[in-house]
A and B are shown apart, each in its own frame.
Chain A
């Protein structure tokens, strides 16, 4: 439990630190003018997230790399050209009337150009391996983006539920604090007047309670401030307001931890990311193994040149065409053996990392699942406790109005009500954040997005 608290504290600190860093960017944005529900804030945060924008660029870069891997092997041609001011050339190959002193000869432009290259015929899998690796790169970039998206969503939800908890608690405290202060003042007055039924012990009890409420109020304000700052930073809005609706528990019916663990094997972005890394490593091994064999290609060349003068033949051929089956073989076979070994172990390394990540995912999901079950049971317990405490509160209020019970009895009833209400709110916050955490751990939606809306239902027939 202590570790869980520490982890939560760390996450809160991280969120706060992140919010502080991002806050200046947020102030430049347009202020929100209406309350935004959780679904809307999540959409805004996804739109605003620099991490997601970076992820988009990473995906585009990976796609470009894949396109290159598909096309580039078939465009391995090179062109060369030259332009020079050269003396003319006359005669034939056996005789030339040209002077040896070339400076006495006429000069003119000389041109030369060639294109040569090869079309791969058989590379023993090198091209397909490069393509597979690039394809895995795209997949990895997409999954990285999904990881970032899941993190953004979780952060928004946690901040939203934290803000809702703070506002609900604040509303509750604002109802009670002035009345308790009033009760204390009345008691002080009665003690001052030495009324016989004024109890000094009761005064101390009330005063201590008042101090505790003030301390809780400070905590609530802190939570509100942190959550609000986080929401502003995450969405880029200068002002954030959420609907004035009481916090409600997510309609989540947990299944067994085993089911979520199995689901995560198929959908968890981190596991799938390692799967993509494994594919890429496999492709690298294929490519390295293929280097033991030569590349077979169809070599093609075109060459043309021009020189000034009267050179009907033999000095040069104006156009040359060539085609041949060529082979290129890297004979660093020993070196390639070690490269292959390296690639093989890299592949095995990723394989083991994936197994490790799967185990870690199981543990993580078991922990998140336990948190959901715990919070869910607390919500159920406090629903009932809250209801009964509320009845106690109503009963005490009605009785007090007729003078049937004392102030102390009234305060006990109301105190129990507020205590139960706060515990209920806290349990709902815990449930909602733990469900969000479980969803992030599993890597897929466990509830429809609309379930996270958290907006009040309007009653059209209300007056």
Chain B
């Protein structure tokens, strides 16, 4: 009874000041955030960018809903998903914007290696969390012109747990050769490009560009993963 009273009366905050943390991580919330960052993108327009994104989103969902009865089916399904998302995401533009300060100073080979590593890491991450996208309702809230393209605003809410907080995911797209490409995803106000830029700059200024490549490679070779 006392424990409950403490919980009711006193916010956790004061009790936790002296503790390293209320260290949770996690799963659904985090998986959702990650999944939504990459898993809900789609195809054409009316508003055009939004329609494009929605079409791609529906395509991803339809692929995910298709039964995969054996490992071969699963492999084929993942390959289709990878193709759809690879076609949707502009990794080079993402890399260029994230390495804004260094992009001009590195060699074409380094750029190519960097884009390759980034795309493989991103694809691996979304592969892990794609299934969970089916657990979300996506509401398209419209599109607005952004500084570097068109921003399609969406809100994702868990279908399985109504108590999970809603997640705002904005996609920034540009139209190239008649096709739309996503190059930035803003999750609850956090721009992927801005975040990557900040992290990349920190590492490059401290240890150099090769150290950044080293970290990406190490991550790619590691199976040790919480997310």
Chain A residues packing against B (C-beta within 8 Å): 4-5, 8-9, 12-13, 16, 162, 165, 167-168, 171-173, 175-180, 182-183, 186, 190, 205-206, 208-210, 212-213, 215-216, 218-220, 222-223, 226, 243-246, 378, 387, 390-391, 393-395, 397-405, 407, 410-412, 414-416, 418-419, 421-423, 426-427, 429-430, 456, 459, 461-463
Contact = CB atoms under 8 A, between A and B. Distances in A.
Contact of B22 (A16, A162, A418): A418
A162 B5 CA distance: 11
B76 interface: no
Given A171-B161, A398-B37, A404-B215, A459 B137 contact: yes
Given A212-B16, A395-B190, 10 more contacts: A16-B1, A165-B8, A175-B27, A179-B25, A222-B1, A398-B37, A398-B187, A411-B25, A414-B30, A421-B165
A414 B25 contact: yes
B22 A212 contact: yes
B9 A179 contact: no
Given A402-B219, A462-B138, A411 B21 contact: yes
A180 B16 CA distance: 18
B163 interface: yes
Interface string B194-227: 0110011001000000000001101110101011
A179 B226 contact: yes
A171 B164 contact: yes
B226 A407 contact: yes
Contacts, number: 215
Interface residues of B, number: 63
A213 B164 contact: no
Contacts of B34: 397-398, 401
Given A222-B3, A397-B34, A423 B12 contact: yes
A403 B219 contact: yes
16 contacts: A175-B24, A178-B26, A180-B25, A183-B25, A206-B23, A219-B6, A246-B163, A393-B29, A395-B190, A395-B195, A398-B34, A398-B190, A401-B121, A402-B215, A411-B21, A414-B30
Contacts of A407: 226
B11 A216 contact: no
A173 B26 CA distance: 9
Contact of A390 (B9, B11, B188, B195): B188
B168 to A, nearest CB: 10
B111 interface: no
B67 interface: no
B12 A426 contact: yes
A461 B50 CA distance: 14
B125 interface: yes
Given A183-B226, A245-B162, A404-B203, A8 B8 contact: yes
B11 A391 contact: no
B9 A213 contact: no
Contacts of B161: 171, 244
B4 A216 contact: no
Given A179-B26, A414-B24, A419 B12 contact: yes
Contacts of B74: none
The 3 closest A-B pairs by CB, nearest first: A176-B24, A403-B219, A244-B162
A188 to B, nearest CB: 12
Given A398-B37, A462-B138, A219 B29 contact: no
Residue of B9, B139, B219 with highest tally of chain A CB at under 10 A = B9
Nearest to A459: B139
Given A180-B23, A209-B20, A219 B4 contact: yes
A388 to B, nearest CB: 9
Interface of B: 1-13, 16, 19-30, 33-34, 37, 58, 118, 121-122, 125, 137-140, 157, 161-165, 187-190, 192, 195-196, 199-200, 203, 215-216, 218-220, 222, 224, 226-227
A426 B6 CA distance: 11
B22 A209 contact: yes
A216 B12 contact: yes
Contacts of B21: 209, 411-412, 415-416, 419
A403 B216 contact: yes
A4 to B, nearest CB: 7
B163 A244 contact: yes
B3 A219 contact: yes
B176 to A, nearest CB: 25
A82 B7 CA distance: 78
A463 B138 contact: yes
A57 B216 CA distance: 77
Contacts of B23: 176, 180, 206, 209-210, 213, 411-412, 414-415, 418
Nearest to A427: B11
A243 B162 contact: yes
A391 B167 CA distance: 11
B197 to A, nearest CB: 11
A206 B20 CA distance: 9
A182 to B, nearest CB: 7
Nearest to B200: A404
Q: Which of A4, A175, A215, A387 has the most CB of B within 10 A?
A: A175
Contacts of B30: 175, 179, 393, 397, 414
A394 B10 contact: no
B196 A402 contact: yes
A167 B138 contact: no
Contacts of A12: 1, 4-5, 8
Contact of A218 (B3, B220, B226): B3
Contacts of A421: 165
Contacts of B26: 175-176, 178-180, 414
Contact of A212 (B19, B188, B196): B19
Residue with the greatest number of chain B CB neighbours at <10 A, chosen from A177, A243, A418: A418
B33 A462 contact: no
A422 B5 contact: no
Name the residue among A172, A245, A404, A421 with the largest chain B CB count within 10 angstroms: A404
Given A168-B163, A390-B188, A423-B12, A404 B199 contact: yes
